[in-house]
Amino acid sequence: MGTEHLATPTADSYAVIGKPLPKVDAAAKCLGRTKFADDIVLPRMLHAKILRSPHPHARITAIDTSRAEALDGVKVVITGADLPNSFGILPVSQDEHALEGDHVRFIGDPVVAVAAIDEDTAVEALDLVSVTYQELDVIASIDDAVAKPEPQLHDYADDGNLHKLVHLEFGEVDRALEQADHLQEDLFFYEGNTHLPMEQHATVAEYGGNGRLTVWSSSQTPHYVHRALEKVLELPRARIRVVAMPNGGGFGGKSDPFAHEIVVAKLAMLTGRPVKICLTREEVFYCHRGRHPVLMKVRTGVKADGSITGMDFESYLDGGAYGSYGVASTYYTGALQTVTYEVPAYRFKGARAFTNKPPCGPKRGHGTPQPRFAVEVTLDKIAERLSIDPAQLRLQQLQPADSVTANWLKIGSMGLGACIAKVTEGSDWSNRFRKLPYGRGLGLACSSYITGAGLPIYWNAMPHSGVQLKCDRGGGVTVFCGSTDIGQGSDSILAYIVAEILGVDPMEMAVVTADTDLTPVDLGSYSSRVTLMTGQAAIQAAERIRARLLGPVAEKLDVPAERLEFSGSRVFDQTDPERGVTFGEAVALAEAAGGTVGSVGSYTPPRSPGRYRGAGVGPSPAYSYSACVAEVEVDPDSGIVVVPRVWIGHDIGRSINSSLVMGQVEGGVYMGLGEALMEEMAYRPNRNVVHKWPSMLEYKSPTMHEMCDVTTYLIEDPDANGPFGAKEAGQGPLLPVMPAVANAIYDAVGVRIDEVPMSPPKVHKAIKDKARGKAPRFGPSSVPSVPWPEVTYVPPPWEGGDGKAHPRPGLETRGEGG
Amino acid sequence: MPVEPVQIKKRPGKVRGTFLVNGEAHDVTYAPHKTLLEVLREELALTGTKHGCELGECGTCTILIEGEPILSCLALAQAYQDVPMETVEGMAQESNLHPLQAAFVEMGAAQCGYCTPGVLLAAKALLAESAAPTRQDIKDALAGNLCRCTGYIKIYEAIELAAARMRGDEAEPAREAFYGY
């Protein structure tokens, strides 16, 4: 595709790895031929619609579906009574029902479903369903949840309407803060926002005459949908096939098993006909699972030279109506503060509230953009206070490579210093920071993200990713893997990695993914895990193919096996390249010698050193690092912030495909910019918590006019745990954008916007307050009082800890041993 | 045992019309309230045209009517009978990708690929008017097409590359677009 002329900057010995090759599915996408879930049409297919709660919190006292059932064209109407088993993504929060039977908890909660001969009839039928509700007191906010333990949304909550309470301490934080020369205390609020994938969720289900169910869905996690269907439908998983179609954008929004997926499966089983549902855009807003609104308090002790002595971090998450990934989200708001800069002592308290709003969950960066915003803005304030350059403040205390953090996260390669060097050089930081005219400014922020979670969502000892290879006598190779391509290019990554090892052309390979009948399990497209985990599994599978081919080819060519090279779709003698066979001939020789040529490979992440309760969130095989400088122009009269340019450096470890990495970095900057400036999943608390903007027009996201220019630097510092050294790119580059913009606004107009999004009214108010001599700041002023559980105290590695919880020094050992 | 005669109610009346899509005439019988998006996807099985909101907010369903981009989700099908129109399926010539499609493939301008058909057609309309659009021209012409994956950068680069090649230049992508600075 015209890329041969481009030399790779690194890894010149690779034929495929690092090259900006087109994606294996790019042409199909540009031709409009890629089939997304809603593009599936089956003979005799019915259409489903779901009636949703119009109340934020209510008991269902009666449902009358008789008029809907009588409507011509309606095949079946179901309610919660037809789907009584609960489900949910995490084993600890199985709190959802495909149709809620007696208790609705947000406007949009599913109640009744209809299957009819067409969509119009299904919509008409919903109007004929009568549901009687008894309204309940509404929990509209974190403060509400603290103040009102009743009525409880869920009886399994840790305390009243507080879903989850966490209290962890690593080293003696109070003592560390006392030893500081300066104690910086800040409060921040990060408003929720949503994924807004361009594709509305859609699912098609078919129940065959043989008692097997097939579900095609826009899902990032077909394996978890498979498990949820088994549980709710009481159908053995061996009788269920889940196919995740290419996702028209996911960003975390298609990572839960969803009510509508289970509903159409049930409708297909009841009618014996294929059933499709495609959600409206309004329903997509109600599915949500997006960014948690998080209120944060951070107290940071620093020495006069800026070095951190300790950090005390509190998170208050507005979780919405269900658990979703919320327990993990809560831990994530406290997990990764320690992986960028050395934090000798660290305490984290986290509280997640249940509220009567669409459930929050994982959005790109899952639980880390909020605390990262807080940490990076607080560091900017510390740098200002101590008159230290913000870049220098960070560079002087980077977490070292190959180290273990206070909370027992094992760091491998660490390229943040190189990222900071690149973005400060590119932005001419030293000549422009604090030196631009009023209204213009530069801001710096950094971040880190996991490359896959170290532990699976449900406890098991099996691999996280599996790959199967099949070689054809004609030289073709088929890769089978459960991973789901959501646009990030995971299908292509499989092809590139196998092609590199077998010396074949990635465009000559077939890739079969995300089909529980055909592909070995991969846990799904979340936590930036796919390239690393499927990549390692693919390497193992491909090396096993090589091992199969070596003997027969060596014998045929009469060449020692160790002299054989795989390249250019041939296997040949390194010392005499003419002496060789085609890859297809090599497969045929191996097949003749030993039977069908195939292999499997799998990957399980290394065990993390953390052994305390809560240590499951944060460990990763590798951490990516990013640094960002944002330039802003602030109009003091309107508060409008324009970001003309962002410089971003990303430590990718090694690019498997540099073009795809560039696309992920640019896309991450874009999504971060939207969160920084405009995106908010907001509700009207005084109007029954009606969603403020359930449409793409009112939910503002950046168009081409708002998107900034991006100067990207890829730092290649290969990580020992990554395939060819690769780390993640899908989520990390979003994280530093919001704090970089906040810090740039301060440089431009001297006000602190301690809240995301930094929308014009907030900026305008802070500027006006400053002019009137008030505090030049917009942000929260207090946190609620929460009944924290007793601390889990874990000595950090440098205090001789073993990764386990121990009694805190100086505390009575209550209950210890007894 | 006597069999009850099945009562089959007829559906409400449909209308009939001809749609001129990608150079072919299609006679279609369809419900009169259907949008052009629905007729294309559901009656003609041209599912290359996507939808993201069905309210005219995202640009995903963009098609060309006599070369001009419109939002097919807001267009009443009846108003577009006998009018030449183009969908993404009409861009390639036989097996050859349109230069815009080829550039999108080469630059990685399609990530999830869901907004891509609409973006390609809006870009085609732009290049028909302006052979050498500036980046600002591209933004002005395509600001109504939302993309959540790319940050738009690779889309600009692909349109600029295709425009140059369509003018006859032997353009190649900038090295920085693939490897960074």
What's A365's DSSP letter? T
Q: Are strands B15-21 and B24-30 parallel, antiparallel or unpaired?
A: antiparallel
According to DSSP, the residues that pair with A99 across neighbouring strands are: none
Q: What is the pLDDT of residue A814?
A: 46
- Interface predicted TM-score (ipTM) of this complex, two decimals: 0.96
According to DSSP, the residues that pair with A572 across neighbouring strands are: A565, A580
CA atoms of A350 and A772, how far apart (whole Å): 36
pLDDT at residue A27 greater than cutoff 80: yes
For residue A633, give how far its alpha carbon lies from the nearest alpha carbon of chain B (Å): 19
Measure Cα distances from A374 to A169, A176, A362, A391, B174 in Å.
19, 20, 19, 17, 37
Q: How confident is the model at residue A701 (pLDDT cuts 50, 70, 90)?
A: very high
Q: What is the pLDDT of residue A10?
A: 43
Is the whole-model pTM more than 0.80?
yes
CA atoms of B100 and B81, how far apart (whole Å): 28
Radius of gyration of chain A (CA): 27
- What digits encode the pLDDT tens for the residues A515-571? 999 999 999 999 999 999 999 999 999 999 999 999 999 999 999 999 999 999 999
Which chain B residues are Cβ-neighbours of A39 within 8 angstroms?
Answer: 41, 47
Residue B114: closest CA among chain A residues belongs to which residue?
Answer: A248
For residue A29, give how far its alpha carbon lies from the nearest alpha carbon of chain B (Å): 5
First-to-last C-alpha distance (Å) of chain B: 82
Q: What is the pLDDT of residue A686?
A: 67
- Is A695 close to B57, i.e. CB distance below 8 A? yes
Which chain A residues are Cβ-neighbours of B58 within 8 angstroms?
Answer: 198, 696
Q: What is the pLDDT of residue B30?
A: 96
CA atoms of A165 and A185, how far apart (whole Å): 22
Which chain A residues are Cβ-neighbours of B51 within 8 angstroms?
Answer: 38, 200
CA atoms of A45 and A240, how far apart (whole Å): 19
For chains A and B, count residue pairs whose Cβ atoms are closer than 8 Å.
203
Could you read off the pLDDT tens digit of each residue along chain B, which spans 181 residues?
666 766 666 677 899 999 999 999 999 999 999 999 999 999 999 999 999 999 999 999 999 999 999 999 999 999 999 999 999 999 999 999 999 999 999 999 999 999 999 999 999 999 999 999 999 999 999 999 999 999 999 999 999 999 999 999 999 999 999 999 9
Of how many residues is chain A composed?
818
CA atoms of A52 and B106, how far apart (whole Å): 44
Which chain B residues are Cβ-neighbours of A197 within 8 angstroms?
Answer: 112, 114, 148
CA atoms of A664 and A614, how far apart (whole Å): 30
Whose CA is closest to A688, among A51, A57, A133, A61? A57
- Is B172 close to A670, i.e. CB distance below 8 A? no
Separation of CA A265 from chain center:
27
CA atoms of A113 and A264, how far apart (whole Å): 9
**Cβ pair A111, A277 in contact under 8 A:** no
For residue A643, give how far its alpha carbon lies from the nearest alpha carbon of chain B (Å): 14
Q: What is the pLDDT of residue A817?
A: 35
Which chain B residues are Cβ-neighbours of A666 within 8 angstroms?
Answer: 150-151, 153-154
Of how many residues is chain B composed?
181
Q: Where do we find the tokens 């010539």?
A: B93
Residue A699: closest CA among chain B residues belongs to which residue?
Answer: B57
Give which of B53, B111, B159 to mutate to test A binding, by max A Cβ within 10 Å: B111
> A354: which 2 tokens?
């249940």
A35: Cβ contacts below 8 Å, ≥ 6 apart: A245, A246, B47
Give which of A31, A218, A492, A629 to mutate to test B binding, by max B Cβ within 10 Å: A31
pLDDT at residue A6 greater than cutoff 80: no
CA atoms of A578 and A103, how far apart (whole Å): 74
- What digits encode the pLDDT tens for the residues A254-275? 999 999 999 999 999 999 999 9
CA atoms of A52 and A107, how far apart (whole Å): 7
